[in-house]
């Protein structure tokens, strides 16, 4: 598994796409700085929010794209044959590739946040450990979403389907509090209409949980306690479900 994960990491390092993504992230941070100038007194807040948001988006784009394409591409080019005809368990192959994808995404997010922090400090921002929680939250979102993408890629054997469905689910995952509100508010009067929405709300991942960046700068008297431990467990469990199913699916796969 470690060999596969490190191999994916090495491939990404050498892949121009990865380097371009990092360069693009530099451009995005620059854009954040410009947005910050427009906010005058609130420049640092805007820089903080834009930066963290784009770090997450770029990490997500890389991870979801890789999860949707890597295995399918290796099956298409038959690279997978040269791996599976070695004493490598199929489940290890899937998990190792996923670990490599997350290692790459995590490294990219760390590099981008190091640059982001440097810019923030130069602008006079006062460090808070909440930044790390916010980054962790973003990474957990990427982890959960990428695990879904991987399963969908193997299930549908279509990159486009996997990417599309994953992004829809990702978006819905952020709307969960609103979906619950609507189901509660309109559920009694329009139960048939609300039924699909209600059903969806039970299965999609609650990605709002991991938006810990929304809790930066919140005054102490408004802050709600964040059960971070529980939420990390939730992310791990959610991820484990789809990775296990991906491994089972791959085990049964015929080439």
Partner 1 sequence: MSALSFKGVSKTYVSSHLGRKTVSRGVSDMDLEVRPGEVFGLLGLNGSGKTTTFKLALGLLSPTAGEVRVMGLEPRDPKALAAIGFLPELPYFHGFMTPAESLRFYGRLSGLAGAELEGRMAKTMERVGLSRWALRPMREFSKGMVQRVGLAQAILHDPALIILDEPVSGLDPLAIKDFRDLLQSLNGQGKTIVVSSHSISELEKLCHRVGILKEGRLARVLEQKEWSKGLEALFVDTVRPERLREGRG
Partner 2 sequence: MRLLAAGLALCALLNAVLAVSRRQAPAVDEVGIRLDERGALESAALFGVGMRRLASDLGIIRMLLYYGGEEDDLPVGQDDGSHDGHEGHRHYGSFDPEHPERHYGGGRYQRLGPMAMRILDLDPSFSYAALFAAGALAFNLNRPDEALGVIDYGLKRDPKNLQYQRYAAAVGCHRRGNPEEVIRIMEPVLLDPDCPTMIKNLLAFLYYRSGKKDKAVRLYTDIYENTRDQGYRDLARRMLGRLGAG
Which residues contact partner 2 by CB under 8 A? Answer: 35, 37-43, 45-46, 49-50, 53, 56-57, 141, 151, 155, 170-171, 173-178, 180-181, 185, 201-209, 211, 213-214, 216-219, 221-222, 224, 227, 230-231, 234, 237-238, 241-242, 245, 248-249
83 binds partner 1 (CB under 8 A): yes
Q: Looking at beta carbons only, is 13 or 237 nearer to partner 2?
A: 237
Query: Of 3, 20, 118, 236, which one interacts with partner 1 (CB under 8 A)?
Result: 3
* CB-CB contact of 135 with 55 (8 Å): yes
4 binds partner 1 (CB under 8 A): yes
The token duo for 251 is 């085990």
The token duo for 242 is 């789809």
Q: Looking at beta carbons only, is 10 or 42 nearer to partner 1?
A: 10
Least separation, in Å, of the C-beta of 96 and partner 1? 10
The SS3 assignment for 235 reads helix
- What is the rounded CA–CA span in Å between residue 54 and residue 29? 8
* Residue 241 touches which member of partner 1, partner 2, none, C-beta under 5-8 Å by kind: partner 2
| Angle subtended at Cα 1 by Cα 245 and Cα 234, rounded to the nearest 5 degrees | 45
The token duo for 28 is 């995005």
DSSP state of 215: G
Least separation, in Å, of the C-beta of 23 and partner 1? 17
Total residues interacting with partner 1, rule: CB under 8 A: 21
- What is the rounded CA–CA span in Å between residue 148 and residue 84? 23
- What is the rounded CA–CA span in Å between residue 223 and residue 86? 53
Rule CB under 8 A: which residues touch partner 1? Answer: 3-4, 7, 10-11, 14-15, 77-79, 81-89, 254-255
């Amino acid at each position: 598994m470690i060999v596969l994960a490190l191999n994916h990491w090495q491939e990404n390092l050498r892949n121009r796409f990865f380097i371009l993504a990092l360069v693009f992230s530099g451009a995005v941070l620059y854009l954040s700085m410009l947005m910050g100038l427009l906010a005058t007194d609130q420049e640092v807040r805007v820089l903080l929010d834009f930066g963290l948001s784009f770090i997450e988006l770029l990490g997500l784009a890389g991870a979801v794209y890789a999860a949707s394409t890597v295995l399918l591409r290796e099956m298409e080019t038959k690279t997978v044959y040269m791996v599976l005809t070695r004493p490598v368990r199929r489940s290890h192959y899937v998990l190792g590739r996923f670990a490599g994808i997350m290692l790459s995404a995590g490294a990219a997010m760390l590099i981008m946040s190091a640059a982001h922090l440097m810019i923030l400090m130069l602008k006079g921002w006062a460090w808070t450990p909440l930044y790390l929680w916010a980054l962790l939250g973003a990474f957990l979102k990427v982890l959960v979403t990428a695990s879904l993408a991987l399963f969908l890629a193997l299930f549908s054997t279509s990159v486009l389907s996997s990417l599309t469905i994953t992004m829809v689910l990702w978006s819905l995952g952020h709307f969960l509090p609103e979906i619950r509100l609507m189901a509660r508010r309109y559920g009694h009067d329009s139960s048939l209409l609300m039924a699909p929405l209600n059903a969806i709300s039970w299965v999609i991942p609650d990605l709002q949980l991991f938006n810990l960046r929304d809790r930066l700068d919140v005054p102490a008297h408004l802050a709600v306690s964040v059960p971070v431990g529980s939420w990390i467990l939730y992310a791990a469990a959610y991820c484990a479900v789809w990775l296990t199913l991906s491994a089972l699916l791959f085990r049964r796969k015929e080439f």
